[in-house]
Structure 1
Amino acid sequence: MGDVFPKVRVAAFHVASPFLDRDACVEKCCKLIADAAAEGAKLIVFPETFIPGYPFWIWTHTPATGGPFFFELFANSVEVDSDATRAIGEAARKAGAYVVVGVSERDGGTLYNTLLTFDDNGDIVARHRKLQPTCVERTVWGRGDGSGLRVIDTPFGKLGGLICWEHSMDLARYALTSQGEQIHIATWPAGSALSHDPSSGVFDDLSEAAARHHAAAGQCFVINVQSRIDKATLERLGFADRPEMMREGGGWSAIIGPFGNIMEGPHRDDEKMLIADLDLADIVNFKYVSDSAGHYARPDVLRLAVDYREQEIATSFEAGPDTTAPQGESAAWPLRRDETNDNGE
């Protein structure tokens, strides 16, 4: 009879964040996880930096006028192993589902644009920090490293993800493909709502092209989920009556099959939960044509080099320098909810 390939129901939330309010974002996140679980979803995905919201002001304000917003972003960002992550983990455990949520992560004095993945036991099993913040994003976020550029095994397949314009980094995409990625998470902000920017008119087209191409090039499913801008965010940023600068709505979300076909969506503007049933047997049907990390690869001509180590800012030489040892090791994931921190708490 042969092997039977997994099937999984997935949910993607095209939603706005309660702007720069971590507690309200976490509360909304947990409620939506329960809503998706009620629909039978076993993989639930939220947009880029859903907690505590995307810093849209970096594209509309000067650094000086954006300073107070940065302070709020810093104060409301998420630390790993905190009350915020424990609450989301508990919601994932109750739902019996994997949850991927975009956060602005705080680590010491630096923020990172991060995807956190929780398993169905509520443990953080992956952390991906955006490798290169895009353009003026560099004024608020630091750079990630290769320690988060890995796929993870789940009961329904190998799961990976990238954030926004990382999808223009072909080598980063292939790093995931080379590990056998089967379900890809693609998160973005509501770029099409930034109406002052001439490129906003094609932002949805660009993200659609990137998501559908990665699906076909990597022979995987893609859950492409974007945020939206609500009225409260417009008011906070001073654009409630300036649609020529920023409008309500935005975003382009869809669930895409391994042939690049749209299975659910696309959806724009209003809040919505997108649901689709993925059958990993569909990937097999495309592998007959192309396996980008197998029979369609040419390692004798083209090969990828990846450094998966965590890049540390300090190395101890107390026992004498060892020039042959790797300078840093990958983060110890998964992070169990019942583990204590260095203070024994």
Structure 2
Amino acid sequence: MTIVKAAAVQISPVLHSRAGTVAKVVEKIRELGRKGVQFAVFPETVVPYYPYFSFVQPPYAMAKEHLRLMEEAVTVPSADTDAIGAAAREAGMVVSIGVNERDGGSLYNTQLLFDADGTLIQRRRKITPTYHERMVWGQGDGSGLRAVDSAVGRIGQLACWEHYQPLARYALIADGEQIHAAMFPGAFGGPLFAGQMEVAIRQHALESAAFVVNATAWLDADQQARLAKDTGAPVGAFSRGFLTAVVDPEGSIVGEPLTSGEGEVIADLDLALIDRRKRLMDAGGHYSRPEFLSLQIDRTPTAPLIDRGTRTRTRPGHLLDEHTPEA
């Protein structure tokens, strides 16, 4: 496939409702499918919603909101992931989406990647939650720092400030990603946050020679007012910092980015542009000088329990158990 029609989706969650947000996402996938979209990226932890409360509330005050998020978080697999997969299959679309994942008593910032046949082909967790997020989410591991083959090409995923980690990005660059799914929460930080986001995604496109499809979430005025009431924060804390955009391998923004409101940026990705860029500078190949500059990565999935009696590695947070002989 040479041309991929891609959509970066700026969408509002249905606050405090997993079911409501999943239904909204499913309907958006169907709508994009009718427009011929083959690949779509949704915002960071849009299901059920980003933990905005953790940005404005001190730890001692966030118990109520934290518990509410736990109750509405997504289990993988579940009827919720089945519904998103079914919508992807119906639309014939590859879908990247951010969710709050619940695994036992823990929450994780998780990116899910569904192939065009609805199969869940990657579930990765943000390796280090940022600042206030550490009060909400656990840490991921290196197993998700890889690109994955899909119906539209080889896809890598990172969330938010993971784009500020050059080695995490290089893991995907060296793994040959062609399309990069980037997602941010939006809603705070103002023009500075949006400007930094633009720098990050354009730089990654330049270094990777990949297309970057970046999605941020949107909060309307009623949602901002509701969050302000629930957390005691000013409304203005939730009303700024959005940039939903597509970037080509030359680092140029394709079309007009979205900085307000719900909607999507749709663009045709000509994958032939990747070779035209890499001919000049392939950061994972002829330009890399691996004899003295290289990345060492441990992609071993972590787990709190390894059952040596059955010689089975228990892998919560991953798709399959792995039968591994004892060392």
Q: TM (normalized to structure 2)?
A: 0.92
1:203 to 182, 193, 203: 193
Aligned AA for 2:271? Answer: L
1:166 deviation in Å?
0.3
State the 1:316 CA deviation. Answer: 3.1
- How far residue 236 of structure 1 moved from its aligned partner, in angstroms, is 2.6
Instruction: Note closer, same or farther for the CA distance 1:289–1:93 as it changes in structure 2 (3 Å cut).
Output: same
Separation in 2, partners of 1:271, 1:41: 17
1:311 aligns with 2:307: no
Distance 1:164 1:279 in 2: 25
| Pairs within 5 Å for 1:206-245 | 206-238=196-228, 245=236
Separation in 2 of the partners of 1:113 and 1:47? Answer: 11
* Matching of residue 91 in structure 1 with residue 82 in structure 2: no
Is the aligned partner of 1:251 residue 2:247? Answer: no
Contact 1:309 1:330 in 2 (8 A): no
| Change beyond 3 A, Cα 1:309–1:35 | same
Amino acid at match of 1:225: A
Which of 5, 12, 16 in structure 1 is aligned with 2:8?
12
Q: Is the 1:14–1:273 contact (alpha carbons within 8 Å) kept by the matching residues of 2?
A: yes
User: How far, CA to CA, are the matches of 2:48 and 2:317 in structure 1?
Assistant: 24
* Deviation for aligned residue 1:264: 2.7
Shift of 1:238: 2.5
The one of 283, 288, 293 aligned to 1:297:
288
Q: Could you say if the C-alpha distance between residues 334 and 287 of structure 1 is closer, same or farther in structure 2, counting changes exceeding 3 Å?
A: farther
1:229–1:250 contact (8 Å) kept in structure 2? no
Structure 1 residue identity aligned to 2:198:
E
- Partner AA of 2:134 in structure 1: R
- The whole-number CA distance in structure 2 between the counterparts of 1:63 and 1:95 is 42
Which aligned pairs between 1:1-345 and structure 2 lie closer than 5 A? Answer: 6-190=2-186, 193-194=187-188, 200-238=190-228, 245-248=236-239, 250-318=241-309, 333=319
Q: Secondary structure at the match of 1:173?
A: helix
Looking at structure 1, the residues matched to 97 and 297 of structure 2 have their Cα atoms a distance apart, in angstroms, of: 25
Structure-1 separation of matches of 2:316 and 2:176: 20
The DSSP-based 3-state class of the residue aligned with 1:238 is helix
What letter corresponds to residue 160 of structure 1 in structure 2? G
1: distance between equivalents of 2:238 and 2:101?
27
CA offsets 1:175-227 (integer angstroms, 9 cap, x no match) = 0001101100110011xx43xxxx53310010000000000001100001111
Q: Would the aligned equivalents of 1:13 and 1:225 in 2 still touch at CA under 8 Å?
A: yes
Q: Which amino acid aligns with 2:217?
A: S
Deviations along 1:131-172, one digit per CA (max 9) or x if unpaired, are 000001000000001111111112321101100000011000
**Structure 1 residues 332 and 271, CA gap change in structure 2 (3 angstroms):** closer
**Structure 1 pair 291/233, CA: closer, same or farther in 2 (3 Å)?**
same
Q: 1:249: how far off? A: 5.8
Report if the CA contact (8 A) 2:115-2:151 is conserved: no
1:59/1:284 CA distance change after superposition, 3 Å:
same
Shift of the alpha carbon at 1:329?
A: 7.2
Partner of 2:325: none
Cα deviation 1:205-264 (Å, max 9, x = unaligned): 100000000000011000011111223322332359976642446411100000001113
Unaligned runs of 5+ in 1: 321-325, 336-345
Query: What is the identity, as a one-letter code, of the residue corresponding to 1:144?
Result: G
Q: Percent identity?
A: 38
Q: Is the 8 A contact 1:6 1:157 kept in 2?
A: no
| 1:290–1:328 CA distance, 2 compared to 1 (3 A) | farther
Q: Distance in 2 between matches of 1:19 and 1:230?
A: 11
Give the direction of change, closer, same or farther, for the CA distance of 1:64–1:331 in structure 2 (3 Å limit): closer
